[in-house]
Amino acid sequence: MIKSKYQFIDTPALIIDYNIMMKNIEFMQKKADEYGVKLRPHTKTHRMPELAKLQMEAGSGGITVAKVGEAEVMAENGLKDIFIANEIVGINKLERIRELNRKINIRTGVDNKFQIDQLEEVFKNEDKGIEVLIEIEVGENRSGIIKKEDLIDLVNHIKAKNKVILKGVFSHEGRTYNVENVDKCIEESIKSQQRTIECANIIKALGVDIDTISIGATPSLMHSKILPEITEIRPGTYILMDVGQGSAIDDFEKCAATVLATIISKPTEERVVLDTGAKALTAQSRTLGICATLGNGLVKNSDNIRLSRVYDEHGLINNRDFSKKINVGDKIEIIPNHICPVCNLYEKAYLVSGGNVLREVAILGRGKSQ
C-alpha cells in the first residue's frame, strides 16, 4: 500500500521503523562478533543518544562521532567511550576535548603536526594525556596520511610529545560507494584494509605499542570480509539505511527511516506535489557506483517511484500512474537518498511499529557541528 499507515502524524516528519532498525543493529553486531572485532558505530548518522544506547546495549564497544559538539551531547547523555573520527583543529575545540577527557574515555583522529602541537599545548598541564589515532588515506582523496615517509615523520613527532599518546590508526574506505559492482566493492575494501594494516605495522616497527586498527564504511562492511589484523569497525548508516545503501545491497526493505510527506497539489494529470522539499529531504544524490541514486528520494512501497525534483519546501513526482493512485491530502513515506543529513534537519523522530507510534526520540545532536 502506497499510502502510509501514519496518516495521523503531521508532516514533514522523520519516521523510524523500530523493528527494521533493530534488525539492522543486530546484523552488524553479529558480523562484528563473528570476526572478533569491536563495533564502534558512527552516530553522525542519527545524532540521537537514545539510538546510540540501543547500539551499545546490543554489544557495541563505544561510539564514533565526527564533531566535538556531537561528542559533548553523547557524553552528556551517558555515552562514555567516544572516538572523534576527524581532525579537530583550533584551541577552543581542543579545550572542549580536554574537558571531555577529564570525564570520559575519548580519542581523536590526527594527520598533521600542527594539530599535534596544539594538542600538546592544550594538554600540557593535564594528568591524563589525550589518546589519538592517525588517519590513513585509502583512496577517498580526503584527509589522512598518504606517504610512508610522512607517516614515519608524524609518528616520531608524536613520540617526542608528553601528553599526546598514539594508540592506533583508522581509515574510511569511502571510495567503495562509487565502485561499479559488489565484487569491486569487496576488492577495494580488502585493499583499504591491507593499507591500513600496513601502516599500523610501520608504527609498531617504530616501537609504538598501539591497540587499534579501525576501518569503517557501510557499503563495504555489508559485503566484505574483515581481515584478522583489524580490531575495530565504524559503520554508521547501517542502522537506518537509505536509498544509496539500499541500492548497494539491492534491498530497500532494510531502510528503517522515512520522511512522511503530504500530497498538497496535483496541478496536472502526472505532476504530484509534496510538502517535503530540500529542507525535509536534502537535495543530495549520488551519480556513480553501487550507491547511485535516481531522483531525490524513493516512495516506500511503490514500484520504484522517485521524486524528480525538490525545491526548498516542495517535492515533485512526475508519474501519471502514481497520480491516479493517490489524492490530495494523502500521506506517503519517502526513503531519503542520504539519511545522515536528513536526521540533522529534524528536532525529533517518531519511533514506530505496525502503525503505532512507540515514542518520540529527540535528536539532541541536531546542529551540533562545531
198 with 247, same domain: the answer is: no
| CATH number of domain containing 275 | 2.40.37.20
Q: Is residue 307 domain-shared with residue 267, that is, in the same domain?
A: yes
Average pLDDT, whole number, for the chain? 97
Residue 45 in domain: yes
If asked whether residues 28 and 125 sit together in one domain, one would say: yes
DSSP, residue by residue, 228-251: TT--EE---GGGT--HHHHHHHT-
Together in a domain, 70 and 93:
yes
Residue 70 · residue 90 · CB < 8 Å: no
Same-domain check for residues 161 and 195 = yes
pLDDT tier, 1 (very low <50, low <70, confident <90, very high otherwise): confident
Domain that holds residue 352: 243-362
pLDDT tens readout for residues 74-128: 999 999 999 999 999 999 999 999 999 999 999 999 999 999 999 999 999 999 9
Asked whether residue 4 is assigned to any structural domain, the reply reads no
* Count of CB atoms situated within 10 Å of the CB of 181: 10
Domain with 161 in it: what CATH number?
Answer: 3.20.20.10
Indicate whether 252 and 110 sit together in one domain.
Answer: no
18 pLDDT higher than 90: yes
Predicted TM-score of the model (pTM): 0.97
Number of domains composing the chain: 2
Give the pLDDT confidence of 304-346 residue by residue, as tens digits. 999 999 999 999 999 999 999 999 999 999 999 999 999 999 9
Looking at the fold, whether 343 and 260 belong to one and the same domain comes out as: yes
Domain boundary among 180, 214, 239: 239
Question: At which residue does the C-alpha cell 528503517 appear?
Answer: 256
Residues whose CB falls within 8 Å of the CB of residue 163, separated by 6 or more in sequence, listed in order? 119, 120, 123, 124, 126, 129, 130
Q: Among the three residues 239, 269, 292, which one is the final residue of a domain in this structure?
A: 239
pLDDT digits (tens, 9 = 90+) for 167-196: 999 999 988 999 999 999 999 999 999 999
Q: What is the pLDDT of residues 110-122, one digit of tens each?
A: 999 999 999 999 9
Residue 328 located in a structural domain:
yes
Do 307 and 325 belong to one domain? yes
Q: Are residues 270 and 325 in the same domain?
A: yes
Domain end residue (candidates: 239, 274, 309): 239
Using CA atoms, how far apart are residues 353 and 347, in angstroms rounded to an integer? 20
**Nearby residues of 184 by Cβ (< 8 Å), 6 or more positions away:** none
- If asked whether residues 229 and 249 sit together in one domain, one would say no
Residues 232 and 248 in one domain: no
